[in-house]
Amino acid sequence: MTEDLLKRRSIRKFKENDVPDTLLNELFTAAFQSSTTGNMQLYSVIVTRDKRKKEELAPAHFNQPAYANAPIILTFCADFNRFTRWCEQRNATPGYGNAESLICAILDTTIAAQTFCVAAERKGLGICYLGTTTYNPKEIAKVLNLPKLVVPIVTLSVGYPDENPPVSDRLPIDGIVHYETYKDYTPERIDEIFQGKEALQENKKFVKENGKENLAQVFTDVRYSKKDMEFFSQKLRDFIREQEFR
Amino acid sequence: MTEDLLKRRSIRKFKENDVPDTLLNELFTAAFQSSTTGNMQLYSVIVTRDKRKKEELAPAHFNQPAYANAPIILTFCADFNRFTRWCEQRNATPGYGNAESLICAILDTTIAAQTFCVAAERKGLGICYLGTTTYNPKEIAKVLNLPKLVVPIVTLSVGYPDENPPVSDRLPIDGIVHYETYKDYTPERIDEIFQGKEALQENKKFVKENGKENLAQVFTDVRYSKKDMEFFSQKLRDFIREQEFR
């Protein structure tokens, strides 16, 4: 009963067919039934289908192919705006412009987004998470007209798959699961856990193409460098503060 | 095909039966196949089954019944420790003690946790998210022996259901989904979106029991007050800094 989850993979190339609104709504209904903090449902979703709007949003996602050829883009936002407006309108005093509230909303948002993905994949759709969302939240907010107390967290490309990529490798389970307490990793354990990944032909090729000594250096020097992560951290922090989460 | 997702509900009362390790491992395998930032799998899971350990961890979850009577507690942690150790061991220079890295790890963690939930519910298990995790991360980290660059994000109670609660009410979909741009909520829309929830008999009872004028005040004055949210925000921020995400 978990077969579909085991053989899933992200899709970055989509057919041109649109996803009908009836199907989208069924998937949203399923997604929104997931767990949510105190049943507050601290999220909103923006559907991008309009060609002009999609082009306007493209630079915020670095024009990546997984964005460009999807018929539908969904931006799942942590949203304390709606709930706060309700409180204010009911003579209740909301206090949600803070870190704890934001983390609750981020969890609600991500839980709903992931349930959407599971439901979508079961219906034959393909999805891809775009990591660019937390790199360029301000640019996204501008295009989508997000008010204060709303922060884009997850962007999904959604559509019918036009490719059939292999299932991605993953670390061994016992390298991730700990019993009773966290057993910190010895150098020997690190070698054991990562050796499968390092031995993959495609990863060896990746190292060579990037002119690096090993796979870890591809991550630290190319894909997720200290400099980039610190740059995007500053942007993210500034934006979160602008959105009045302090 | 989305029926199971539509009729799911959180479970807070469990049978005594343990969940076998073979089943747990199947669920973890499914969970870990979900999308993850750059295939880094920035999470660890701590399984709590041992009675003494569970008692030690109980105060961090305010001894709530949903915690106390579950045979298994899973703490899903954002984890950049394992990846950082790997990098250091490969002469690569990691730079992941920052906000952007933490948010990537939080997303990875929550995505994996939610896939675990969907898979578990399909297998007849019940789950409940414990919101206390981000209230008391330091206390949890101490009991579970979490090193730097590891932050508990999601705690799940897991077991076989010993109750049959109704499906929770949710806001109407069109109160959550926006097309092309975010349409900010007018007072009329807020009334429309929340009226179903406010009209529920159980919520009216809830308002009365708490001696409040309306449901919003139960949230702002009792369940998620400004004072509490700000108190927990400060704790969370301090802890995140201690774990060396700056």
Residue A232 lies in a domain: no
- Six-digit token string for A33: 């039934």
- Six-digit token string for B55: 């008692």
Determine how β-strand B150-159 pairs with β-strand A72-79.
unpaired
> Which residues in chain A are contacts of B199 at CB distance < 8 A?
none
Residue B137 lies in a domain: yes
Residue A70 lies in a domain: yes
Residue A241 lies in a domain: no
Contact state of B48 with A173 under an 8 Å Cβ cutoff: no
Give Rg (Cα) of chain B: 20
Residue A205 lies in a domain: no
Contact state of B25 with A173 under an 8 Å Cβ cutoff: yes
Q: Is residue B35 within 8 Å of B120, Cβ to Cβ? A: no
Scanning every residue of chain B, which has its alpha carbon at the shortest distance from the alpha carbon of A126? B35
Q: Where are the beta strands (DSSP E) in A95-142?
A: 126-129
pLDDT digits (tens, 9 = 90+) for A168-227: 999 999 999 999 999 999 999 999 999 999 999 999 999 999 999 999 999 999 999 999
Please check the confidence at residue A1 and state whether its pLDDT lies above 90. Answer: no
**Residue among B120, B139, B143, B121 nearest B53 (CA):** B143
Check residue A155 and give its pLDDT.
98
Scanning every residue of chain A, which has its alpha carbon at the shortest distance from the alpha carbon of B227? A95
Residue B34 lies in a domain: yes
Residues 26-65 of A with CB under 8 A from B: 26-35, 37-41, 43-50, 53
C-alpha angle B238-B242-B246 in degrees, rounded to nearest 5: 80
Contact state of A99 with B237 under an 8 Å Cβ cutoff: yes
- In the DSSP assignment, the letter for residue A154 is E
Q: Where are the beta strands (DSSP E) in chain B?
A: 43-48, 72-79, 126-129, 150-159, 177-179
Q: Please name the amino acid found at residue A75.
A: T
Scanning every residue of chain A, which has its alpha carbon at the shortest distance from the alpha carbon of B212? A92
What SS3 class is residue B225? coil
What is the spatial distance between Cα A76 and Cα A44, in angstroms, rounded to a whole number? 6
**Residue among A196, A163, A174, A138 nearest A70 (CA):** A163
How confident is residue B80, by pLDDT bands cut at 50, 70 and 90? very high
Contact state of B41 with A171 under an 8 Å Cβ cutoff: yes
* Range(s) of the domain holding residue A141: 3-166
Phi, then psi, of B42 in degrees rounded to 5: -85, 55
HSE on the CB side for B216, CA within 13 Å?
18
Phi, then psi, of B84 in degrees rounded to 5: -65, -40
What SS3 class is residue A44? strand
Question: DSSP characters for A175-197?
Answer: GTEEESS--PPPHHHHHHHHHHH
Q: How many CB pairs under 8 A join A and B?
A: 359
Closest CB to B35: pick one of A10, A45, A230: A10
Check residue B166 and give its pLDDT.
96
- Cα distances from B79 to residues A83, A135, A237, B76, B108, in angstroms, run 31, 20, 20, 9, 9
Determine how β-strand A72-79 pairs with β-strand A150-159.
antiparallel
B242 in contact with A at a CB cutoff of 8 Å? no
For an interface test with A, give the residue of B2, B117, B179 to mutate (most A CBs within 10 A): B2
Contact state of B50 with A171 under an 8 Å Cβ cutoff: no
Scanning every residue of chain B, which has its alpha carbon at the shortest distance from the alpha carbon of A45? B177
Please check the confidence at residue A158 and state whether its pLDDT lies above 90. Answer: yes
Closest CB to A236: pick one of B103, B128, B167: B103
pTM here is 0.98
- Six-digit token string for B124: 């007849």
A186 in contact with B at a CB cutoff of 8 Å? no
Q: Partners of B180 in the beta sheet?
A: none
Please check the confidence at residue A93 and state whether its pLDDT lies above 70. Answer: yes
Residue A239 lies in a domain: no
Check residue A41 and give its pLDDT.
98
What is the spatial distance between Cα B39 and Cα B104, in angstroms, rounded to a whole number? 11
Q: Partners of B179 in the beta sheet?
A: A47
Check residue B2 and give its pLDDT.
84
pLDDT digits (tens, 9 = 90+) for A64-85: 999 999 999 999 999 999 999 9
Query: What CATH number is attached to the domain comprising A102?
Result: 3.40.109.10
Higher per-residue pLDDT: B100 or A246:
B100
Closest CB to A177: pick one of B47, B177, B219: B47
- Six-digit token string for A243: 């959105």
Q: Which residues contact B3 (CB under 8 A, 6 or more apart)?
A: none
Closest CB to A86: pick one of B41, B177, B190: B190
Contact state of A223 with B38 under an 8 Å Cβ cutoff: yes
Closest CB to B114: pick one of A29, A34, A134: A34
Give residue for tokens 């070698």.
A191
Please check the confidence at residue B1 and state whether its pLDDT lies above 80. Answer: no
What is the spatial distance between Cα B33 and Cα B41, in angstroms, rounded to a whole number? 9
Please check the confidence at residue A133 and state whether its pLDDT lies above 80. Answer: yes
Average model confidence (pLDDT) across chain A: 97
Residue A18 lies in a domain: yes
- Six-digit token string for A139: 């640019």
Determine how β-strand A150-159 pairs with β-strand A177-179.
unpaired
**Residue among B1, B3, B100 nearest B42 (CA):** B100
ipTM for the predicted complex comes to 0.98
**Overall number of domains in chain A:** 1
pLDDT digits (tens, 9 = 90+) for B12-30: 999 999 999 999 999 999 9
Average model confidence (pLDDT) across chain B: 97
Q: Where are the beta strands (DSSP E) in B54-207?
A: 72-79, 126-129, 150-159, 177-179
Please check the confidence at residue A89 and state whether its pLDDT lies above 90. Answer: yes
Contact state of B236 with A33 under an 8 Å Cβ cutoff: no
Q: Partners of A208 in the beta sheet?
A: none
pLDDT digits (tens, 9 = 90+) for A231-241: 999 999 999 99
